[in-house]
Amino acid sequence: MAETIRTTCAYCGVGCGVLAAPQPDGSVAIAGDPDHPANFGRLCSKGSALGETLALDDRLLHPEIGGRRVSWDDALGTVADRFRETIDRYGPESVAFYVSGQILTEDYYVANKLMKGFIGAANIDTNSRLCMASSVAGHKRAFGSDTVPGTYEDLELADLVVLAGSNLAWCHPVLYQRLAAAREKRPSMKVVLIDPRRTATAGIADLHLAIAPDGDTALFSGLLRHLFEADATDGDYINTHTSGFDEALAAAACFDGARVAAETGLAREDMKTFYRLFAATEKVVTVYSQGVNQSVRGTDKVNAIINCHLATGRLGQPGMGPFSVTGQPNAMGGREVGGLANMLAAHMALEDPGHRALVQRFWNAPRMADKPGLKAVEMFNAVADGRIKAIWIMATNPVDSLPDADAVAQALRDCPFVVVSDVVAKTDTIRHADVKLPSTGWGEKDGTVTNSERRISRQRAFLPAPDEARADWWQLAEVARRMGFGEAFAYGTAADIFREHAALSAFENDGKRDFDIGAYQDVPDADYRDLRPFQWPQGRGAQPAQKRFFTNGGFFTADGRARFVALRPSGAAMADEAYPLTLNTGRVRDHWHTMTRTGKSPRLSAHMAEPFAEIHPEDAARLSIDDADLVRVESRHGAAVVRALVTARQRPGSVFVPMHWTAEFAALARVCALVAPVTDPLSGQPASKNVPIRLERFEAG
Ligand code: SF4
């Protein structure tokens, strides 16, 4: 009988527990872990199909330089030498790491330590920048820290769940299943969906607000004004636990019914229904995701939502709070170890000299980055203009996933030195690598991930590392050793790194920092191996782990008060005469990112066989486009040819195209090539939901 291993799903930020049982015929049986508190045995289609994605046929199995197989020693020596030479000649700001929410916390920790504490620059950023950076920035503005206050259980306990810019049914399916099950048990629970599209999630919604792209700030600012006028704010809470309410309310004064209707495109009656429901319901959770975050005003949208929860005192209590759900399995773990260009390890702030000194002391680091590095889009702009001369890309495919993707490809072609660590041999990114490093994949690697409710779970190896594939943290530590930083990177196992990470979280932490897993700083190897999922914070002696933050205020600002943010109107619409429609990009149910894994499963590929553009019937009729026609979608940055799907689920004027297909799967379907490289000024998150485009029927030849 094969041993069954408890591990964690490799896909979305719900972070479901998985039971993996290797079979004698080489296959792996997959089931949901009934004891994991994220999913209690449930899995979605992607999680259930994990066993179908483990074949080695497309794997990168040996290090290569210039397309030739080489030894690990040669590959690592070349990476260390070229990075060292580049730094010596052009300074530490001339090199960069671009990593991923797919790597484990231990990998992230070592990458961040090497770049910020030993190379001495902060040019490490992650593809998680594309998924949740606006939530991070919004949390910090409001709470003084990047803290998710609530838990998944709050969705089940709420009387009203507002889903803003979140297709939970397809993008976080098990959390959706939990919500649907709770609603079935308690039919009085209400669900409001705020999304330009009538997505699968609308199936559970009592009210669907088909909002205009980027109308969220107006909608929630109008709600703040309504809450005050309806006497539904909590004066005691505001006075005791917050600051800035009067300024935020004054800024919201301009959001009267007419203005909100104009900015959101919603019927006044629907807005009023939503406002009255929110005002009258004590237990409200507002879940938000990429539809809120991926915007030039993403951080403002997040704060518009948080403002309404602060005004009503609805957070930190069962069934209440703003709740950001992350796209990737370890977007949250990356935040914990500072895997973003503007953060330090253990949720400390790069801009805080005290925090920088503390981390430097703990690492015994020779130098420390003292200013934020380049965020994802800026980083590839710097590759393009020659400021970055050596880049190491890990477990991600920016040539297909970053905005203005053709320019990213050109930047990598021109970059003097590109290293790519990945599990797969062929991606549109790895073809530009001077050095290719084979990484271990899901089922082969060991470490931890953190899900959207701050729950840390183990990913465990249940398969041997194939051929010469090695863990990402090992690759980084070996390069660090060859660069002369060996002592600080003498890790034997992932457990060694986890203990150091836990110790840093507790180091000189007097309770004024949110992230603390100090209870685990001396965890023995056997206990790390058997680690059960737990939520942070879990400092030494703290029993049990804390489910919710801010139950009695206690925010991480200097005065301990949460901050309201005064928000201005959104400004002009993105579409213009030359590009009169707007493109909204997103996920489909059964594919993940650029399909490097889900594309291997015929079962998953059968759900949506090809890329498509969802077009409202009015737009289709005006442009003489019939259902199933091929259409050319064009922006100022690129073009794609996909199949038309004419549907009233789509909002007039807006076109949805999924993000997954690459040149390998469908020629001319790289939708990220169309996305403008414009970002939120605070978070650096690209605006992938509101891109001006034009559309026409495609005539072959
Ligand atoms: Fe995996 Fe997310 Fe599906 Fe859970 S909901 S099985 S974490 S993809």
Residue 298: what residue type? G
pLDDT at 257 over 90: yes
Residue 138: closest CA among 356, 289, 336? 289
Q: Ligand 1: distance of its center to the CA of 286 in Å?
A: 21
| 175 and 297 belong to one structural domain | yes
**Per-residue confidence at 192, pLDDT binned at 50, 70, 90?**
very high
Closest-CA residue to 681 (of 298, 226, 191): 298
Of 8, 9, 102, the one to substitute when testing ligand 1's pocket (max ligand atoms within 8 A of C-beta) is 9
Do 309 and 419 share a domain, yes or no?
no
Of ligand 1's listed atoms, the one at least distance from the Cα of 43 is: 6
Domain boundaries, position 314:
131-327
Given this model, what pLDDT does residue 665 score? 59
Is 419 in the same domain as 281?
A: no
CATH of the domain at 666: 2.40.40.20
The predicted pLDDT at position 673 comes to 83
Is 568 among the domain residues? Answer: no
Instruction: Report the pLDDT value the prediction gives residue 331, as an integer from 0 to 100.
Output: 81
- State whether 486 and 355 are in the same domain: yes
Ligand 1 centroid, distance to 183 Cα (angstroms)? 20
Q: Look at residues 300, 327, 354 and tell me which one is the last residue of a structural domain.
A: 327
> Is 549 among the domain residues?
no
In a domain, 564, yes or no: no
The model carries a pTM of 0.95
Closest approach atom of ligand 1 to CA 10: 1
Which residue's CA is minimally distant from atom 3 of ligand 1? Answer: 44
Q: What are the two backbone dihedrals, phi and then psi, of residue 114, each rounded to the nearest 5 degrees?
A: -60, -45
Do 81 and 100 share a domain, yes or no? yes
Ligand 1 centroid to residue 631 C-alpha, Å: 32
Q: How many CB atoms lie within 10 A of CB 386?
A: 13
47 CA → ligand 1 middle, Å: 5
Neighbours of 490 (CB within 10 A): 11
Looking at ligand 1, which atom is closest to the CA of residue 12? 2
Compute how many other C-beta atoms are within 10 angstroms of the C-beta atom of residue 109: 30
Q: How far is the CA of 32 from the centre of ligand 1 (A)?
A: 10
Total domains present in the chain? 4
Q: What is the pLDDT of residues 338-372, one digit of tens each?
A: 888 989 999 999 999 999 999 999 999 999 999 99
Band (pLDDT 50/70/90 cuts) for residue 659 is confident
* Nearest to 91, CA basis, from 113, 119, 59: 119
Residue 623 inside a domain? The answer is yes
User: What separation in Å is there between the alpha carbon of 180 and the centre of ligand 1?
Assistant: 16
Using the predicted structure, report yes or no on whether residue 404 has a pLDDT greater than 70: yes
Atom of ligand 1 lying closest to residue 45 CA: 3
Residues 71 and 172 in one domain: no
Instruction: Decide: 337 and 110 in contact? Cβ < 8 Å.
Output: no
* ipTM of this predicted structure: 1.00
Dist. CA 45 → ligand 1 center (Å) = 8
Q: Is 59 among the domain residues?
A: no
pLDDT at 332: 82
Distance in Å, CA 43 to ligand 1 centroid:
6
Residue 455 sits in a domain of what CATH number?
Answer: 3.40.50.740
Atom 6 (ligand 1): residue with closest C-alpha?
47
What pLDDT is stored for residue 667 in this prediction? 58
Closest ligand 1 atom to 9 CA: 1
Determine, yes or no, domain membership for 575. no
Q: H or E element: which one contains 473?
A: helix 472-480
CATH number at 195 reads: 3.40.228.10
Instruction: Supply the CATH number for residue 33's domain.
Output: 3.30.200.210
* 241 contacts 561 by C-beta, under 8 angstroms: yes
**Structure token pair of residue 191:** 């669900």
Residue 415 lies in a domain: yes
If asked whether residues 310 and 410 sit together in one domain, one would say no
Supply the mean pLDDT for the chain: 93
- Mean pLDDT over 374-382 rounds to 97
Of 308, 327, 346, at which residue does a domain stop?
A: 327
Average pLDDT rounded to a whole number, residues 140-164: 97
- Contact residues of ligand 1, CB 6 A cut-off: 9, 11-12, 14-16, 39, 43-44, 46-47, 172-174
Q: Rounded to the nearest whole angstrom, what is the distance from the C-alpha of residue 664 to the centroid of ligand 1?
A: 25
The two structure tokens encoding residue 141:
């503005």
Ligand 1 center–CA 181 separation, angstroms = 16
Q: Higher-confidence residue: 595 or 173?
A: 173
For the stretch 518-543, pLDDT in tens is 999 999 999 999 999 999 998 876 55
* Ligand 1 atom with least separation from CA of 329: 7
- Condensed to tens digits (0 to 9), the pLDDT of residues 537-580 reads 988 765 566 789 999 899 999 999 999 999 988 765 567 889 99
47 and 68 belong to one structural domain: no
Q: Do residue 154 and residue 284 come from a single domain?
A: yes
Sign of the alpha-carbon torsion through 171, 173, 178, 184: positive
CA of 18, closest atom in ligand 1:
6
CA of 502 to the centre of ligand 1 (A): 26
User: Residue 30: which residues within 8 A CB-CB, separation 6 or more?
Assistant: 18, 19, 20, 21, 43, 47, 48, 49, 50, 51
User: Nearest C-alpha to atom 4 of ligand 1 is from which residue?
Assistant: 16
Domain check: are 80 and 197 in the same one?
Answer: no
- Whether residues 72 and 48 share a domain: the answer is no
Q: How far is the CA of 16 from the centre of ligand 1 (A)?
A: 6
Q: Are residues 475 and 376 both part of a single domain?
A: yes
Is 302 part of any domain?
Answer: yes
pLDDT in tens, 478-534: 999 999 998 999 999 999 999 999 999 999 998 889 999 999 999 999 999 999 999
Please name every residue paired with 644 in a beta bridge, in sequence order, or none if there are none.
613
Percent of the chain with pLDDT over 70: 97
The pLDDT of residue 367 is: 93
Q: Give the tens place of pLDDT for each residue, 44-86.
A: 999 999 999 898 999 999 999 999 999 999 999 999 999 999 9
Cα(125)–Cα(338) distance, rounded to whole angstroms?
9
pLDDT in tens, 10-36: 999 999 999 999 999 999 999 999 999
Pocket test for ligand 1, best of 18, 36, 167, 174 (most atoms within 8 A of CB): 174
**Pocket residue to mutate for ligand 1, from 33, 42, 172, 588, most atoms within 8 A of Cβ:** 172
